[in-house]
């Protein structure tokens, strides 16, 4: 019983790892993430990518939900973990 619980916990941790969550993003979402992490506003990101501000806001919201973060600071922490190979 204990081994099954340990395996279940390990599986959940792997599924919720920053790298696994990040891999679920589309290429466009990853591009938006990198620009949000640089501190750009949705309006500026939209101009750079040729999309409306509202579309970028939607992408940003989806990305934050997928990565399970609430703030740009948390997003930067996730990206730092990914770049460090965690």
Q: Give the tens place of pLDDT for each residue, 37-66.
A: 888 999 999 999 999 999 999 999 999 999
Q: Mark residue 51 as left, alpha or beta (left: phi above 0; alpha: psi -120 to 50; beta: remaining).
A: beta
* Answer CATH for 2-83 from 3.50.50.60, 3.40.50.300, 1.10.10.10, 3.40.50.720: 1.10.10.10
The whole-number pLDDT of residue 14 equals 60
CB distance 78 to 22 below 8 Å? yes
The whole-number average pLDDT for the span 70-84 is 85
Alpha-carbon dihedral angle through residues 71, 74, 78, 83, given to the nearest 10 degrees: 100
The whole-number pLDDT of residue 31 equals 94
- Residue 27: Cβ within 10 Å count: 7
């Amino acid at each position: 019983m204990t081994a099954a619980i340990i395996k279940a916990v390990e599986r959940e941790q792997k599924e919720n790892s920053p790298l696994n969550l990040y891999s679920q993003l589309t290429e466009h979402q990853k591009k938006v993430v990198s620009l949000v992490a640089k501190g750009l506003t949705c309006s500026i990101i939209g101009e750079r990518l040729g999309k409306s501000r509202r579309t970028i806001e939607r992408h940003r919201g989806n990305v934050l939900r997928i990565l399970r973060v609430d703030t740009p600071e948390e997003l930067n922490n996730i990206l730092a973990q990914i770049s460090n190979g965690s």
